[in-house]
Each structure stands twice: as C-alpha cells, then as structure tokens.
Amino acid sequence: MMRITASGRSDVGLTRQHNEDSYEIDPERQLYLVADGMGGHTHGEVASRTAVDAICQYVVDYAKDGTPPPLPEQDAELSKHLRLLKGAILSAHERVLREIRQDGSLHGMGTTVAAFLVAGESAVVAHVGDSRIYRLRSGDLRLLTEDHTWVNEQVTAGFLSEDQARVHPLKNVVTRALGGEGDLEVDVDEVDLQPGDRYLLCSDGLTTMLRDAEIADRMRRRESPEQVCGRLVAAAQERGGYDDTTVIVLDVTG
C-alpha cells in the first residue's frame, strides 16, 4: 500500500457570493473528490455537496458490505475499484436527480466531479465535466482527464487553441454533468502509483486562470501539499479569481 499525504483548499471567487464547489478528503478510504456545482441561487452548492456526500456514502457502504451494488452488464469486465467508483458516481447522479424531482425549484442544478480512489499500488480516476486531474511525475505535469466541454470539443476538432478555449465566452458550457438529462457517461481509468508522484484534483476556477505551465511551476516546488494548495489558490485569485477555486494536492510516498 502506498502512503498518501493530501491537503485540500476551496476559496470562493472574488466576485461571487457563494462557493459552488465542494471537496472531500477521506483518508481512511483513500478517496479524494472535487465537485463544481452549477445552477441559480445557491443550487450549485447543493448539487456539488449532494454529489460528494453520495459518492462518499456509497464507498463507505461498500467498505461495510464488501460487495459493490451491481452495475450495468457492460461494466462487468471493469476492475472492482473501477466499478466501485463508477457506481458511486452513477448513484450520486441519481441522488441529484431525485433532489430535483422532489423540489422543482432546483431544476437545472448539476455538478461536475473529479474522483481519485487509491487501490493498493494503483489508483482509479474518474470524472464528469470540466474538473480535472493532473499528475506530476519526474517534473512533468500531465493532464489525466479530458474536459467534457463544448470548447474542448472545438480544440480537439482544431477550431480553437488551448489559450482561446481558456478565455472563450462559452468556456463554462459542460457537455456532461451529474443531474443532467439522459444517461450519464462517466470516464474511468486506472493509473499506477509511483513514490514521488504528486496529483492535483481541481475545479475550472484554477484552470481558467492558470496555464498548465503555471500550474506545473507550483506543483514542482518542494513544499507540502498544504503549501502547494495555498499557492495555487492564491495564484488564481491574483489573476482575478472570477470563479470558485478548489484544489486537492496529494503526494505518494513508498
């Protein structure tokens, strides 16, 4: 089992009233989550907190029973931890939809999620929307997730550059969200863990303010996860901090 040291931080944007992001660090189950809610009034907060709580609960229930609830047949070949995390996110999606059905005023709320679950020598990563997961290994920063956004589709198709996408007026349009309509597609992947790895989970409040190179610069510092979290959030706010910024930094030691 790898040893993980993690820290998280969430700051409301400089121009906003409510922090619509939520995050959770569960060291016992080695589960790390960042969610970025959307919707009018305080509904973004409700969506992201509902989703984070539901994912944690699902994983806690599994730890008690030892058997993850069944998933659709096409997922049968996924590893146990992949199924567990995917199942947790699908159940959180259902929970958000249920809240909306019970209270019509919540209509339109939704949330992204980026999730990281340690499973022995590897970790399972999963995401929906534009919250991201990066890995710093041997000084190189690599994005492990692909944004589910309209602008990212344009970048992939060659119509926009990364820099144009970061400042595009439609940069906030996500193509997938928990609480959204239709079947939810969750991207899941398994990554090997190596001592010395440093991972970042973050909401787009960070990545619309800072380029990857600027994030890498702070991630490379020989400082604790807590200090790096502080630096990342401070840097986003210095740039204008138009949006809530949430980060979790976790270090892997052998």
**Interface with Ca ion by CB under 5 A: which residues?**
36, 203-205, 243
Tokens of 253: 């030691």
Q: How far is the CB of 134 from Ca ion (least distance, A)?
A: 16
> Minimum distance between the CB of residue 245 and Ca ion, rounded to whole angstroms?
8
Q: Which is nearer to Ca ion, 45 or 204 (CB)?
A: 204
Cβ atoms of residues 11 and 239 within 8 Å: no
Contact 231, 221 (CB under 8 A): yes
Nearest approach, Cβ of residue 230 and Ca ion (Å): 19
Output the smallest distance, CB 89 to Ca ion, in A: 18
Phi, psi of 111 (to 5 degrees): -155, 150
Query: Closest CB to Ca ion among 147 and 204?
Result: 204
Alpha carbon distance 114, 205 (integer Å): 14
Task: Give the nearer residue to Ca ion in terms of CB position, either 56 or 173.
Answer: 173
Question: Would you say 114 or 144 has its CB closer to Ca ion?
Answer: 114
* CB contact set of 143 (below 8 Å; sequence gap of 6+): 132, 133, 134, 212
How many angstroms separate the first and last alpha carbons of the chain?
A: 8
